[in-house]
Amino acid sequence: MEHTLTIKKVIAGGKGLGTLSDGMVAMVPATLPGETVVARETKNRKGYREMRLVRILEASPDRVEPPCPYYGRCGGCDWQHAAYPAQLEFKRLILRESLVRARLEPPPDHPALASPLAFGYRSRLRLHLDQSGRLGFHEQASNTVVEINRCLLAAEPINQVLAALIEGGWPARLAAEIATIELIHSPADATVAVVLTPRPSQRPRHAPQLIDQLHPLAEAVILASIHPTPARAIFHQDFTAHGQGYHLSWDHRCFFQVNSLQNAQLVATVLDLLPWPAQATALDLYCGMGNFSIPLALAGPEVIGVEQNRGSIHWARINSRAAGLTSTRFVADEVERQLRALVDAGARFDTILLDPPRQGAGKAAPLLPLLLPANILSISCDPATLARDLAQIVAQGYTITRLIPVDMFPQTHHIESIALLERI
């Protein structure tokens, strides 16, 4: 059944929300606030209906023509139909509403931190390869691969390697044994690595020959099941913090923000929020390869970093030594277990910083106040789990003083953010 409705706002997850004539809430993808649209029901959920956009009767002035030829089929860039300033405003409103829904008092509004690049910003691209040789991204809510030959979000060196793979007929040649092809660009130079992940329970035959044949296309080729990582597959980025230059390195097994220019702005913003004295102590949870630990330590504090990924801890230690630091210590452990050990030991920290995965800190969140930090700074990539974690911290005597949306993923509904809490 088709309905005509007006879109009131864009909600978490990126869809437009409106109300049908019978009062039922409807969610329509690819729509913008203020638009009058015709939409068709696709699913009748408890309390709302999912819809598919049929046509736009009255368009928003913020609507633009998506530049990507795969838009509407590829499940990736779901906000290319919105002008970039509008995307930033939607993210600010969604983040703020997430806190309100959790019965938290948001601090004064802060505009979203825009990405230096709205396109061409991704330094890492993971492509699916189906057994018929189609290489690309999954359709929305589907395992069907949309074949692509270029991604407008990817850094140009990645697109150059992707073109070479396609021109060489590699998708068809690899399809029987390889499930994904990941292209990773090193932000400090033009290096691109190709990471091949075999299909479950398979190890590609003649793996050394396969890697040798692919080498002319990229600086490094890695079969994910084979170790160690080649020296040419080490990635780098240069930073400046507190007037000091420093250098971070990592490999393909480490997490690193895919928007390298925006990551530099994110790190600088975090440092600006925490002007610590030299004698301060800091705990960096989910520290990865030292993205925040290294610049924090360069500012003076003694820093302990905790991260479950042992490969990331390996690189955090390397990066710390390369920066000439003697005030850092890195622990390879599950964050909640390490927090409980610190609480039991009576440890205290001036500041705690955490950058958890999308599922948030969870059971680790209520342990943070037990370490009596003056400040807790949370970097999040999911407003809902952020609000849940903040509610647990606020309940133990903290107030949210800053909330900054950070656009790490332009053209998509995904929202990065920084929340600063201070002990009351």
- Positions marked active-site: 381
Given CA atoms 210, 213, 217, 221 in this order, what sign does their dihedral have? positive
- Taking residue 206's Cβ as centre, other Cβ atoms within 10 Å add up to 9
Q: How many CA atoms lie within 13 A of 315 on its CB side?
A: 24
Strands (E), 113-162: 124-129, 135-138, 145-147
Distance of CA 342 to the CA centre of its chain: 28
Question: 264 near 213, Cβ under 8 Å?
Answer: no
Stretch (H or E) spanning 5: strand 2-10
**Contact between residue 35 and residue 63 where contact means Cβ atoms under 8 Å apart:** yes
> Which region holds residue 389: left if phi is over 0, alpha if psi is between -120 and 50, else beta?
alpha
Give phi and psi for 342, each to the nearest 5.
-65, -40
> Among residues 124, 12, 74, 84, which one has the least CA distance to residue 415?
12
Q: Which residues contact 46 (CB under 8 A, 6 or more apart)?
A: none
| Separation of first and last alpha carbons in the chain | 54
CA separation for the pair 307, 416 (Å, rounded)? 20
CB atoms closer than 10 angstroms to residue 175: 17
What is the chain's percent helix, strand, coil content, to nearest 5?
25, 30, 40
Q: Which long-range contacts (CB under 8 A, 24 or more apart) does 306-310 make?
A: 306/330, 306/331, 306/333, 306/335, 306/338, 306/339, 307/331, 307/332, 307/333, 307/335, 308/332, 308/333, 308/334, 308/335, 309/253, 309/254, 309/255
Strands (DSSP E) contained in 324-364 are 328-332, 351-354
